[in-house]
Structure formats: structure tokens, C-alpha cells
Structure 1
Amino acid sequence: MEELIAQRRAEVADFRRRWFRFARRWRAASRRDPDEARALVATALAEGLPPVGAADPAPPPDAVQHACARAVVAASGLIDAEEYAVQHRLRRGTDPVRHFVEEGWRSLRTPSLRFDLWWYWVEHLDPTDDAVNPLLHYALRGRHEGLAPLPSPAEPRPPTRLDGQPRRACLFAGYDRDGLVDDTVVAYLAELSRHADVFYLADGVLEPGQLDRLADVTAGAWSVPHGAYDFGSFSLLARDLVGWQRLAAYDEVVLANDSCYLLRGLDDVFAEMNGRAADWWSLQATSMEHDESYKHDDSPIPLAEAKRRFVGPRHWTDDRFLHLSSYFLAFRRPVLDDPGFRWRLDTVTRQEEKRLVIHKYEVGISRYLVDSGFDFDTFLPDLWAFHPLYGRHFFELVERGFPLVKRNYLGENPRHVAGLEHWEERLRHLVPDAPFAAMRTHLERVTSPAMLREAYGARLGEDGRRHIPLRATQGFGLRRLDRETPSFRHWWAFPVSSSGRLDPGMRAVLEEVRDDPSLHKVVLTRGRPLTDDVAGARVTVLPMDTPDGQAAMVRCGLMLADDTPDMAYPFSFPRSRHDYVHVGLGLPVLPHPLGPDGRDWARVEALAACSAGEALVRTAAVPDLDLTRSWVTGLPRHDHLVLAPEHLPADLRAEEQRLRESLDGRPLVVWWTRGPVQPLPADLVAWAREHDVVVGVREPRVDRPDGWTRAMLDLGLPRLVGLSDRAVSSPVPVHRVASAVVTDDDLQAADALVTGVPLLQVTGPGPTSARGIGAALPGEGWAEPTRCPDADAIMDELTKLAVAGFPRREVTVPAGAPRLDGAAARRFVHRLRSLSRR
């Protein structure tokens, strides 16, 4: 592959050099005389681009390249402009040539049925790079070198028959936004392992210890963030982690992913397909040429007939091709040994849109294999209406022995099947032994409440038409709803943060008023179910992005926030109808994100502060926050850090207890970070073993390939725990349990000063550490962290702390500042009530 990719990149580089020079010449000619520019284009189309000398031409501006490319494409006759506009549903007035040149080709918008964009790209250019428009290359170079614009279908090959029981491998792609290996995945892999050697790759950074769950059911398991969806995992497994050389020992290789739940065993599937002659196979085939219909006959078509009808013709959109879906594919030796198949799998790269992953790899590989004469088969003997795993006929498939169900069919219902909320009852009748409890638990964990509401709201009317539930409105519609709906001072909004949890300050304020019947508390969730226990008098929990959530939100006269209003409420509500009050940011830290960053601080009516000094810092940093709007009540977020355990909310107390039990009496050193990974202490592993210390990592984006969690996993610490938002629902238990905190100047880690935990600040290198925690107001009264300029200093300080038993430091506050007495939320709520009575 390395040699071929080098050749393709050389071809791309040479064409670009020629193109840069031509575009500059065209621009100069177009300024002198339009006819001269047209003649230049005609010559290039007739003769191709001449070679360039040793000097590399400078790239022209993008505007010049786009204008020149439009002139070439329009003159080439290779784009059917009118049909392009119709087939790709361009807005009226959009120039088809401009659209194709500037964006259409990158998103695989077919220019005409006479040119196969992706096939040409893969066959003659670099499929990992989008530096060259394939149609432009063909017009100016490819056709002059005899390159074909379309694939030439090969003669059918004799399909492969297996001789006895095959030796089978399975490359399995996983992804979990919470970094977990779910019970449903373990069950699926356990069944696959009965039939194949399973190799698992999760796209992302799994929480420590999660891969251990697969030790008994996989021949290899990895966690690598790559962002290229399931085909990215398949590619990485085949190319690098397992390798083609190892895969050469297998008769059949299955590609599967965790987008499905296993309903029944796979014995019947493999037994059936072992006896079928095919080069590659799947559970079912898909084609929009045979689409689902509520008015016309959409009965299944025998696969042999479907091949005769739908294989061969070119299409304007790739999803109309007959293809096999990537959730379960099996390839036999002739395909696995085919250089074109390997090339396509080896060159999978990250795409901007999921649609491109489907078109380039899922449909693209199917098309290539069909055009190459490889024969396919499916476990279901018929072609069902598109897409059968998402349509109203799915339960018929299960009745016929289909073994899987798509998670997003149950959770998102993309084709709006009526009555899908009864899926468990219907499936239980067909497959009573399926793991329904695990399926529902996983479904509710990974699917937003708003999406579930919409998925289960479709109805079939008496007229046979589907009635789809209303969606949340945006823009003018929402502003109109806000104007026409009265707001009430006793309605308080509590938005959940972007992590899906209530900010500690928000939670403390809610705890103060949760049992007050005079207030209506509206907790607005985002993209995941709320894990906080917020039950109380007149507490309503609603997804923010649903009609019900929006209807309640606009009634709230008081809008609490843990960020600027435009971030806490991604809707444009006028300040005149709602009071926005901020629950506080934390101890003053400079530099910090509170600054002239274009965010909407002007609408904040008031902000909680921990001291007069902090109020001065905030006012100096943001002119929109004048001093009169700072309430020196103390920070509500600190209340749950200093209260005795018995006074904590029950769910936070339980989470703290769970974390303490997992430590089994060992000290916990927390790496609390937001910046890029710095060199880790070389002897951190030996130190952790010697002092029997658990190391925990809390960082905002766990799935970064260059993140601290991944670095710690690679280091091989004896006891490592993940403490991110996805693993621990609140930072409060982490603060309360930590024995020491190592930070690179993270704003939330400053709360550790409130608990008295030893705080080690990484001070270099890098601009974020130029001034540290407490440096904003030196000597004001807050305890200072211990500054560590390098990894050796961190280890020296950690060793001192370990020897001394990680002693807590004295907690001090500035003179005149509110005490850390667990009553900041009470003082803050008192001010809120005064605001509400205005």
C-alpha cells in the first residue's frame, strides 16, 4: 500500500502544480480579454495541461481557482447542469456548476451519469485526500491518458463454496460516548466468539478497566480514537492492529459493529450461509430502488430478481445502488485477496459527514465488488423495502429468524414507524429470551430524551397517513412563542450543562428550593437523561429541545445559568422578559475564559461571587459585568464540598460512598486537566506502586488522541480510574474524596482549595500557566497551591505528601468574605427572591 499511495500522492502533487500555473494564466487572460481566456480553456481541454518545470508555481487564491474550475467544467460538457440541479435538489437560482465546483464534488454529488466521481477518485487519485476535484483531473489530464470515466463491469466469477467448517475471524467496531463496554456488546461478542476469533476496536478512549470485560470473548481488543466511524475501525484492525498477514489464515472475515442488539443466537445464520455459494454475504440487502410505501405494493423481491433489475444501472445518488449494509458483512478468500478491496479498506479516512462514510465505504465497496464480478448472497432470501431494519416490516424479519435489531431503530425511529413504543412487547412475543432489560438500559443511556419522545410519537391515522409529532421550533417561531406566552417570576429555570449534568452551583440552588411549593422549578435537560435526583415539590424535568420543554422554558421569569445566557440557553430570548442570574464561576483565576470573547455577558442580571476581590476581578475582566451586579453571597457550588456527608443529597452521598469503596482505603491523586498533555513523570508508575496510590484523571474531552486519559492508560499505571463527567456524574464526590489534585490551572480544580486538599499546579511550559490559581489576587486570603515547574517537581511534592499521609491544608478565606458554611446557596436564593419581587 505504501508504494501505491506514494504514487497517487505524486500524481496529485504533479497535477496541482500544473493546475496552479494554468489557473494563474487563465486569470491573467480573463483580465485582458474573455475570448482569450475561453481559448485557453479550450486548448487545455483539447490537449491537457503541459508539464511544469523545476520551480513550483505558487497556489493562486481560492477564488481564482474556483472561477477557473467553473470555466473548465462548464466548457467540458461533463456536467449535466439541469439534471444536477434537479437530482441534488438545489435551491432555485443556484448555479449548478458553481455548486459542484465549490462544494458538490467533495460531498460526492454526481455531475452526470457519464462520470463516476468516487470510483475515479479511488482508482486514479488519492482517496485519503481531497486536494483535487476528480472531474477536473479527468477533463484536463485523465482522458488524455486514456483513463475511463466509469467502471467497466467484469464478467461474473464462479461464487466461492466453503469446504467444511470455515476458520473465521470477526473485526468488530465499537463506540460508546460514555467510554463503556456495554452489557449488550459483551453478549453480542460472546455469541460471535462461538463462531469466530473476534478482534474488537473501540473508536475513542474507554474508561480504565473496560477492555478487561472482553478478555474471555476476544482474541484482541483495543481502544483508539480515530473518528472515522465503523469503517475506520475495520481499516485500522485489518491494516495495523491485526494485519492482513494474520487475516490470511482465515477462510472468512466478518465485519460487524455495535449498532445492533443481539436478539437470538447466530447458529442458524452461519449454518445457512456456510452452505451457500458466495464471495461475500450479509444478513440482508438494501436499495432505495425498492422503497417502503404505505400506498403501493412494497412486498419483498426475490434476491435473484433484484440483482437482475437493480445491479448495473448508474444512479445520481449512491444510496440507490443495491448494496450490503456494514453492520454485518462477511468476505471470503477471493475478496480478501483482491488488491482493489484491500486498497479501499486500507485507505479509509475520517469524513466530515456520516453520509460520506456510507457512500464512500459502505456503498462504495459494494459497488466495487459487484463491478468486479464477485457474487453476493444474503441470509434473507429476498430484497425487502428500503431500509428493512428501520421500516414497518422489521418485525416480520424477526419472525423469519432475523437475529439483530438496530439500536437507532428503537431509539430514533428514522422512518417514523407508527406504534414503535410497543417494540419490547412485540419483540418479546417473537424472541422471548432476548436481553430486553439490558437493551432498554443501554437505549435510555445513549439516546437523548427528546429523540425518544419523537421516536415514540408517530401515529397512523384513519386515512392511512402517518402523523409525526411536532418538533422543537427555532428562530422566529421560538421568539413568537416567547412573546405570546406570559412569564412568571415564580417559575425558575435550571438548565443542565453541556455535559448532561447539573452544574454543582445549580444543583446546590435547586436543593435549597426543591421542596418549596411556592416556586415552579423547571429542569431543562440536553442530549442525555438526567442522572441527578431532583424530585421535589413542583419540580418538572423536560428536554430543552422539545415543544413541551420550550413551552415551559418561556414561562420562566428567572433563568439561572452556569455560563453566559447564549451558552446556557441556545435561544435568543429578550432580557426584558427574563432575568438571567449566574450561579458563580469559582475562585478568581487569571488568565481565565471570562473576557472579551464575544459572549453574551450583557444579559446577566447578577452573578454570585465568593468575595469582594472576585467581584473586582470579574468587573475588570468584563465591562458588561458592573460591580453592582456581583452578589457576594459565597459560591453555591462550594456548599456540597464543605457539608458533612449526612447533609448531602442522597445521590451525591451514594456516589461518594461508591467512589470511596472503590479505593478500598487507598489515597486518590487526581490529574485535573484542561491543557495538552505534558511529559508525565517517568517514575509515576513505580511511585504509585510503592505508595499504593490510585491515580484518577478528570478532563473535559476524554476521547482526544492526545489526552491525559489515553496517556495514563498507555503508561500502564497499576490502579487508574476515570473521573470525567461521563464516569462520575458530579465533580463534588471527586473533590471530597481526593487526597491530592494535580492541575494545569483548571478553573474547576480551584474548588479543591475549598476542601483543603493539597493542590499541585503545573506551571510550565505554556501560556495557560503563566499566572496560576490565586495569582489574580495575591495575599487576599485564599490558600495558595504548590507550584511545580516540571515533572520532577511534581514527583518530589507527591512523594512528600505520600510520606506525610496526604495531610489537608488549612482553608482560609479573605477578610469580610462569606464563611464556607454550606449556606451560600441559601444566601443566593434570598437575593433571587428579592429579585423576583421587583
Structure 2
Amino acid sequence: MTTPRKTDRLLEQRRAEVDDFRRRWFRFCRRWRAANNRDPEEGRAFLEAALADGLPEIGDVVPPPPAPAVEVAAARAVVAASGFMDADDYAVQHRLRRGTDPVRHFVSEGWRSLRTPSLRFDLWHYWAEHLDPTDDTVNPLVHYLLRGRHDGLAPLPTPAPTRTPTTLTTGPRRACLFAGYDRDGLVDETVVLYLTELARHADVFYLADGVLEPGELARLDGIVQGAWSIPHAAYDFGSFSLLARELVGWERLEAYDEVVLANDSCYLLRPLDDVFAEMDTRACDWWSLQATSMEHDESYITDDSPIPLAEAKRRFIGPRHWTDDRFLHLSSYFLVFRRPVLDDPGFRWRLDTVTRQEEKRLVIHKYEVGISRYLVDAGFDFDTYLPDLWAFHPLYGRHFFELVEQGFPLVKRNYLGENPRHVADLGRWEERLRAALRGVPDAPYALMRAHLERVTAPAMLHEAYAAALADDGRRQIPVRATQGYGLRRLDRETPSFDHWWAFPVSPSGRMDPGMRAVLDEVRDDPSLHKVVLTRGRPLDEVPTGERVTVIPMDTPAGQAAMVRCGVLLAAEKPDVAWPFAFPRARHHHVHLGVGLPAATEASDGVDWARVEAVATASTGEALLRAATIPDLQLGRTWATGLPRHDHLVLAPDDLPADVRAEEERLRQRLDGRPLVVWWMHGPARDLPDGLADWAREHDVVVGVREPRVDRPDGWTRALMAHDLPHLVGLSDRAVASTTSIHRVASAVVTDHDPHALDALVTGVPVLRTSPGADLLDEGWARPRQADDDLLRHLRDLAEGGFACRDVELPAGAAPLDGAAARRFVHRLRSLRLR
């Protein structure tokens, strides 16, 4: 690991410059305001003197910062008086709302989002070249007007003469810095295949932005030279930067002739041998598979034929643009740099100083386009595997399949899954790829489709594949789902029916066990129309039965079916399950139950008033809900038992086939060891010392279940750092149903996750790490309060063989007989719309 000392020293110098300017600027703002308040002419003279002579030195004085409004007013006055900003063009080019003051917009927010103030000033070049690119406290144009131009700094880059391009004399030794991200904390099989192919041509170093499930990095053993998982939220360039400056280090990279930057936004379609063999013969300093420029845009009407790259360089390199994405540049999904670029201090500086950005657009402008522009201005020559510049970004356009026919080796995931350019007939992408890849071994089509469905919302896939061409050749853009007034109008104009029941899945894409139990109870009833509304991802097990419709919620067809449903079920909080304001007069909102009341609970601002009924486990729970949720009266509670408890108490042979199979798979993973489930809802806290020794001594498997695996402050990351002998991920990606976890668990450790407390009806020991009141009802197997000495409680459980506790139902509780869904459905059938 190498410390980038040159970068550190330069950062210290830049930060000292920024600090010195800010101190001068703070004094200027206060003095200008005072002068302007006394006499506007005096203020104007003070301002003109600063523009003419710059800001004077103030030594070590540290003036207090002015009020934000004063600072904005001063910056506006400086920029307006300088005449350096083209305000009218700024308003037009950046599409400001009518009546917006362009200068105020620029000094208050525009500069931070790289809104070019004038074609005479290059905002990001000046920022990166003369200030601290990791800091956004000094407006580069204000610095230039009051300091930079007086020190001889240029407002625009001065292009250097083109250098002699690099020619490879022997087969190059390559390294590959690979950036990964997966919302489910997985290393997908498509990524493994891509990395395996890259490893045939380069030493690969992999970094995932986020937290991976336990054991996922081990899938890359023998493929990559190094693999890490570190949450940094700085996109792919954040991973490239961290790999180059720390994890791999520039000193180690000096042993390579080429360094490849690649990411997992693409699927591999064919081997890369032809690409590298061809580019080894090309003289250039850096290269990619294709170039991009919005100056050559895609068109269904005019000619958008490819332009030879040499001609594109002559036409599109040089002119200034109001937005950086219009510059000719190479995209970051696959970039290759040769030794002269890798040794260039300006290139290293820009890669070393990558920092987190608020918008992905800024990542593209600062690093993807920014590095391309810097290298071109520095005289480095580039080349591309495709000999031509294709229209727009061709990997997202209608010509993409032509590129594949010419040997292009990759396809963008979000092209196939999101279709941002509304390319017609994209739903047939597999058939079209097979035709374009004639003579090439089959691409991993099934794996690609599975990955697309896992990471792309069903509604987005539906929209992506709905674009078509009309008979007259015009594109038919799919109609999007409506919101707000449009949805309320659709609801008013559409009849609702008592026998139409809606079953929404959770936002994560999983169906709640209680929702599943109710659906199983009625799925073969021909008198009911069951509408299953998917979200997040497609269901692993598609429900079947009489009159069962499965459709994405956020599509026009899904909304049309949804508003017809007279019964709207919910397993989440009402505003999460139904983020729409449907009136009770037209729909019955019925909740399947919150869970066992382990502590005093309140409405938390949730709109429970629209809920007509809530299932409860007992009359005691019903009293607690009515007392703590103001909008929920006692008469609207149904003591049917919680449907989600049904599958917990059934014999294995009585479970649905998919739930039984999932339980068997989980037991196989445990290999006879006890499973202690770390089932947490809040952020990670300090873990007890000796946890790994305890798990090793008792041969325990620790399974971690939390809402999001990739949280930097999550329990998955915290537990992975403790070197546990057996740690497994139990996220909803790894285990779809909480039922399987409860049926297999030997003990549960939780803070306040309501699903974790379902273990109390099975008698499995529950250790609670957060303080809370006891259960209202007598009889449930109560949790142990273990926040004082968690490890001692864990030792006691392990030494006692994780013995289950007896469960005695409290007075007024529904029986735990696996029939709560049946009783719940019986109550549902009695509802009638007014």
C-alpha cells in the first residue's frame, strides 16, 4: 500500500490557498456590506477597487464568516460588476425558470453543480488546477476575479501540442482496477464471468462500493489479485481512486504497461481477445471501446451515420460548450491508460482527489468528462476500438445491435433494463443479440435476464420494453403511470368491486408471510379476483390459482387494476403499503397485523385513520393498539390472530412447497449447527468482546438479518469485522421469507424489529438489546433484556442447548393453529363497499 505523498503535499498547498482566500473574502464581504449600507456609491467604489487590485493580504487574522445572505450578495455584486458572466446565455443554456436572476443563481448554487457561467471561463478546469477539488467552499469564478487573474492564472486551459502517441513494442503487462456495486450485497454470476475474462488479460483488483454479504468476496478467489468491499458512495471513480492511491497503490501500478478501469455496469457478450489484440497495434496514450459526443446526436429523421474518429476529433475537439457532457470524451465503463498518462502528475492528481458528489451528473462531468478533457488539453492522443464516432452514446441508442455485429464485446445493463432512449422492440433483446452474435459462443443470456430482474423494478422493465414503432415509422413512447391528481381522477372514474382484492408486496419486492398466507387461503376461490401488485423486483414464486393477476404496481395497467380493488390489504405501515390517498368510501383498507406488542408503540405520524380493520393476536394487543394509536378505534381491531404466524406452527409437510424448500436449503447451509439470528433494525453498536470466541467454542452459526445489507453503519459490516467462524447473510435477497428463518433459528438477538419478535410464538429464545416495556399479555415466551451483558446471556443459552421456552396463550388470544388467515378471510368477506 502506497501513500500518495505528492498528492498529500499538493492538497496541503491548495487547502492553504483556499483557507487564505476565504479569510480575505470574509473580510471583504463584511467591509463591502458596511460601505454599501452607508452609501451605495461607496460600496461600488470598494468593489471596483477589489476587482482592479485583488484582495489585500490580512496576515494571520481570522475574520468571522459573514451571514450566508451577505456572502451571496457580495458574490453576486462581484460577478455582476466584473462583466465576466454572460447572464442571458446562462439563463437560456441552463434552462432557468422565468424571472430567476441568473447571477444570483450562479453564485448561490449554479457553480457547485458546474453550470458554466461563460464560454470565457472553464469552471472545473480552474477548480481542479488551482483550488482544492475536494472542497466546495470557494466559488472558482469569484477566486479568479479577485485573486487568480492578478496572479496570472488563466481562465481557460491552454492546449498543449499533441505528443507522439505511445507504441507498444511487446505484449503489455496490464492491471485492471474494477469497480463494483450491488444493492443486495452480492457478487453476481455475470460479474464473475466478466472478471474471469478480464483476468485472462490483466491482473484484476476488485473493489465493491458498499457491504457485501458474508462469503461473497470468496467467490473471486483465484480470479482476482485482490478484492475489497468498502462503502464510499463515490461511484465507480471513487473505487478507481481508492484502489490506485491506497489499496493497490501507484508504486505497484508502476510495474504495468497499461491500467484498465472497468466496472460492473456491463455484461460480457464475447471474449476480449480481439479487442486487446487490435488495440495493441494502435499508437495512442489511452483508449476505450468507443467515444461519445452529444454534438453528434441520434436522430430518427436526419442522417446520424457514424463519423470517422479522425474527422470527429477535428470537428469536436476545441470548441467550448455550456455543458460538459457535450465535449467529445471516453466513457468510464472501460478505459485503458498507458505509461505516459499513468506517470502524468495531473492525471494522478485528478484520480487521487475524487470525492463523493451529491449528483451522479457531477461524477460524469468532473471525472469521466473532466479527465478526458484534461488529457486532450495536455496533448495526449486517444483511440477507440470502434473506428468511428457513433451518434449520441451508442450503447443506449437504436444502433447498438449494429455495434455488436461489428465485434463490440459488452452491453450496458441499464440499456437492457431501463431503455433510457426508448429504443423500439428492445423486449426482444435476447433474440436480437443472438442474431448479432452469430458464430460467437452463447452469451450468458439466462444469467443476464436473472440479474436484470433482480436489480430492476418490474415497472421499469415493463416501460423499457413497451416502446415500439408505429406503421408510419414514428416511435410510440410508452405511457407512464400517473400520480397525484391523475391517479385520484382515475380512482374516481373507475368502479371498485368487493370481490377484487389487492395484495401488494413490500417495497423490497418480497411478499410478507401474512400476505402470502391470506393469498394461499383464497387463491383457488373463483369468486374472488386476486391482484398481486409487484414492486422492487419480480416475485421468486409467481402465485397461481383461479383469477390471480400478477402485475407491477407502478404501471398504467397495474394502476387500472388497483383502483378496481374494493379490498386493499397491507402488511407494512399504511402509507408504505399504499403511497396513495385512496378514500375509504371507495376501498376497504385492511391491515394484516403489526406484530406482537413488545413496547409502547405510537402511530409515528402514520395515517391509520384510513385503515378499516387491523388483525391482532389477542384482545390485549387490540387494547394496546387502540390506546397508543389515536386514529385506530378498538372496534376496528380483529382478534383473528396474525396470518403471518400460520406458517410458523405448521408441520413441514403442510407448508407451501417453496417455503419448505427454502427451509431445507437453509438447514443444509447450517450443517447441523445452531443458528443465532442477529435480527436488527437500527444502526450497529459496539459488539461484545469475545463474541468470536464464544461462537467458535459452541460451533454456532451467526446469521445477520437487517433491512439493508449495504449500510455503512449496518450490522453485516460490523459482524464481518469480528472474524466469526461461521457468518451467513439472511437478508431478504438470500432468504425470501422470514418464516424459514424462524423455523430454523435456535435463538434471536434483536433491538426492536417487529418481525424478529415473531419468534416469541415459537418459544425460541429472544434476547432484546434495546430497552422496552414487557408484553402487555401474559403467556407469551417473553424476551430476555440483554443490553447489560449480551455475551453472558449468549453463553447461558449455548450452555443450555438453546432450549425453547413454553408458550402459553394469554387470555383472549387467538389459537396458534395455522388458521389465522382463514379467520381473517372470513372477516374480510363480510365487508361491503358503501
Q: TM-score by structure 2 length? A: 0.96
1:654: which partner in 2? Answer: 661
1:800: which partner in 2? Answer: 796
Counterpart AA for 1:808: C
2:681: which partner in 1? Answer: 674
Counterpart AA for 2:786: C
Structure 2: state its 5+ residue gaps.
1-6
2:462: which partner in 1? Answer: 453
Which of 803, 809, 812 is the matching residue for 2:808? 812
1:63 to 2:61 alignment: no
Against the structure 1 CA distance between its residues 634 and 41, is the aligned structure 2 distance closer, same or farther, given a 3 Å change threshold? Answer: farther
Question: In the TM superposition, what is the alpha-carbon distance from 1:54 to its structure 2 partner?
Answer: 4.5
Which of 272, 285, 289 is the matching residue for 1:283? 289
Question: In the TM superposition, what is the alpha-carbon distance from 1:92 to its structure 2 partner?
Answer: 2.2
2:316: which partner in 1? Answer: 310
SS of residue matched to 2:376: helix
Moved more, 325-334 or 477-486: 477-486
Which of 477, 489, 509 is the matching residue for 2:518? 509
1:555: which partner in 2? Answer: 564
Which of 203, 211, 218 is the matching residue for 2:224? 218
SS of residue matched to 2:567: strand
Residue pair 2:210, 2:232 contacting (<8 A) in 1 also = yes
2:447: which partner in 1? Answer: 438
Which of 688, 693, 717 is the matching residue for 2:700? 693
Moved more, 517-526 or 165-174: 517-526
1:523 to 2:523 alignment: no
**2: CA distance between counterparts of 1:51 and 1:732?**
69
Which of 614, 618, 628 is the matching residue for 1:611? 618
**1: CA distance between counterparts of 2:723 and 2:187?**
20
Question: In the TM superposition, what is the alpha-carbon distance from 1:79 to its structure 2 partner?
Answer: 1.7
1:99 to 2:105 alignment: yes
Q: What whole-Å deviation, never above 9, does each CA across 1:233-268 have from its counterpart, x for those lacking one?
A: 111111111111111110100001111111111111
Question: In the TM superposition, what is the alpha-carbon distance from 1:298 to its structure 2 partner?
Answer: 1.3
Moved more, 279-288 or 514-523: 514-523
What are the equivalent positions in structure 2 for 1:76-155 lying under 5 Å apart? 76-155=82-161
Question: In the TM superposition, what is the alpha-carbon distance from 1:835 to its structure 2 partner?
Answer: 2.1
SS of residue matched to 1:576: coil
Residue pair 2:775, 2:782 contacting (<8 A) in 1 also = no
Residue pair 2:771, 2:787 contacting (<8 A) in 1 also = no
Residue pair 1:420, 1:456 contacting (<8 A) in 2 also = yes
1:713: which partner in 2? Answer: 720
1:477: which partner in 2? Answer: 486
1:421 to 2:427 alignment: yes
2:381: which partner in 1? Answer: 375
**1: CA distance between counterparts of 2:754 and 2:61?**
51
**2: CA distance between counterparts of 1:38 and 1:479?**
55
RMSD (Å), alpha carbons: 1.8
Residue pair 2:771, 2:785 contacting (<8 A) in 1 also = no
**2: CA distance between counterparts of 1:229 and 1:251?**
26
Counterpart AA for 1:812: E
Q: TM-score by structure 1 length? A: 0.95
Residue pair 1:170, 1:199 contacting (<8 A) in 2 also = yes
Which of 189, 195, 211 is the matching residue for 2:201? 195
1:465 to 2:466 alignment: no
1:185 to 2:191 alignment: yes
Question: In the TM superposition, what is the alpha-carbon distance from 1:591 to its structure 2 partner?
Answer: 5.2
SS of residue matched to 1:482: helix
Moved more, 3-12 or 410-419: 3-12
Residue pair 1:502, 1:532 contacting (<8 A) in 2 also = no
Which of 641, 645, 649 is the matching residue for 2:652? 645
Q: What whole-Å deviation, never above 9, does each CA across 1:17-40 have from its counterpart, x for those lacking one?
A: 333333333444444444444333
**1: CA distance between counterparts of 2:386 and 2:618?**
69
2:628: which partner in 1? Answer: 621
SS of residue matched to 2:614: strand
**2: CA distance between counterparts of 1:447 and 1:748?**
26
**1: CA distance between counterparts of 2:316 and 2:60?**
50
SS of residue matched to 1:281: strand
Question: In the TM superposition, what is the alpha-carbon distance from 1:215 to its structure 2 partner?
Answer: 0.9
SS of residue matched to 2:431: helix
Against the structure 1 CA distance between its residues 39 and 628, is the aligned structure 2 distance closer, same or farther, given a 3 Å change threshold? Answer: farther
SS of residue matched to 2:103: helix
Moved more, 546-555 or 639-648: 639-648
Residue pair 2:172, 2:256 contacting (<8 A) in 1 also = yes
1:270: which partner in 2? Answer: 276
**2: CA distance between counterparts of 1:380 and 1:66?**
47
Moved more, 82-91 or 780-789: 780-789
Counterpart AA for 2:228: W
2:251: which partner in 1? Answer: 245
Residue pair 2:779, 2:807 contacting (<8 A) in 1 also = no
Moved more, 220-229 or 362-371: 220-229
Residue pair 1:613, 1:780 contacting (<8 A) in 2 also = no
2:340: which partner in 1? Answer: 334
Q: What whole-Å deviation, never above 9, does each CA across 1:452-488 have from its counterpart, x for those lacking one?
A: 2221111122333211111111122112111111111
Against the structure 1 CA distance between its residues 821 and 33, is the aligned structure 2 distance closer, same or farther, given a 3 Å change threshold? Answer: farther
SS of residue matched to 2:830: helix
1:766: which partner in 2? Answer: none
Against the structure 1 CA distance between its residues 93 and 789, is the aligned structure 2 distance closer, same or farther, given a 3 Å change threshold? Answer: same
Query: Taking every aligned residue pair, what percent have the same amino acid on both sides?
Result: 76
Against the structure 1 CA distance between its residues 146 and 591, is the aligned structure 2 distance closer, same or farther, given a 3 Å change threshold? Answer: farther
2:400: which partner in 1? Answer: 394
Question: In the TM superposition, what is the alpha-carbon distance from 1:172 to its structure 2 partner?
Answer: 0.7
What are the equivalent positions in structure 2 for 1:523-602 lying under 5 Å apart? 523-590=532-599, 592=601, 594-595=602-603, 597-602=604-609
**2: CA distance between counterparts of 1:414 and 1:531?**
26
Residue pair 1:162, 1:277 contacting (<8 A) in 2 also = yes
Question: In the TM superposition, what is the alpha-carbon distance from 1:322 to its structure 2 partner?
Answer: 0.5
SS of residue matched to 1:24: helix
Question: In the TM superposition, what is the alpha-carbon distance from 1:723 to its structure 2 partner?
Answer: 0.5
**2: CA distance between counterparts of 1:671 and 1:821?**
27
Question: In the TM superposition, what is the alpha-carbon distance from 1:171 to its structure 2 partner?
Answer: 0.5
SS of residue matched to 2:721: helix
SS of residue matched to 2:546: coil
Against the structure 1 CA distance between its residues 656 and 82, is the aligned structure 2 distance closer, same or farther, given a 3 Å change threshold? Answer: same
Residue pair 1:459, 1:467 contacting (<8 A) in 2 also = yes
2:780: which partner in 1? Answer: 782
Question: In the TM superposition, what is the alpha-carbon distance from 1:822 to its structure 2 partner?
Answer: 1.7
**2: CA distance between counterparts of 1:621 and 1:142?**
63
**2: CA distance between counterparts of 1:722 and 1:741?**
14
Q: What whole-Å deviation, never above 9, does each CA across 1:697-755 have from its counterpart, x for those lacking one?
A: 01112112222111222222221110112221121111111001111232221111111
What are the equivalent positions in structure 2 for 1:221-240 lying under 5 Å apart? 221-240=227-246
SS of residue matched to 1:836: coil
**1: CA distance between counterparts of 2:246 and 2:488?**
53
**2: CA distance between counterparts of 1:801 and 1:90?**
64
Counterpart AA for 1:122: A
Q: What whole-Å deviation, never above 9, does each CA across 1:347-376 have from its counterpart, x for those lacking one?
A: 111212111111111101000000000110
**1: CA distance between counterparts of 2:355 and 2:263?**
17
**2: CA distance between counterparts of 1:419 and 1:526?**
24
Q: What whole-Å deviation, never above 9, does each CA across 1:468-517 have from its counterpart, x for those lacking one?
A: 11111112211211111111121111111122111222222222222222
Against the structure 1 CA distance between its residues 2 and 785, is the aligned structure 2 distance closer, same or farther, given a 3 Å change threshold? Answer: same
**1: CA distance between counterparts of 2:471 and 2:117?**
43
Counterpart AA for 2:532: V
What are the equivalent positions in structure 2 for 1:154-169 lying under 5 Å apart? 154-169=160-175
Against the structure 1 CA distance between its residues 822 and 315, is the aligned structure 2 distance closer, same or farther, given a 3 Å change threshold? Answer: same
- Provide runs of 4+ in structure 1 moved above 6 Å: none
SS of residue matched to 1:618: helix
Moved more, 568-577 or 663-672: 568-577
Q: What whole-Å deviation, never above 9, does each CA across 1:53-76 have from its counterpart, x for those lacking one?
A: 655333333333223322222222
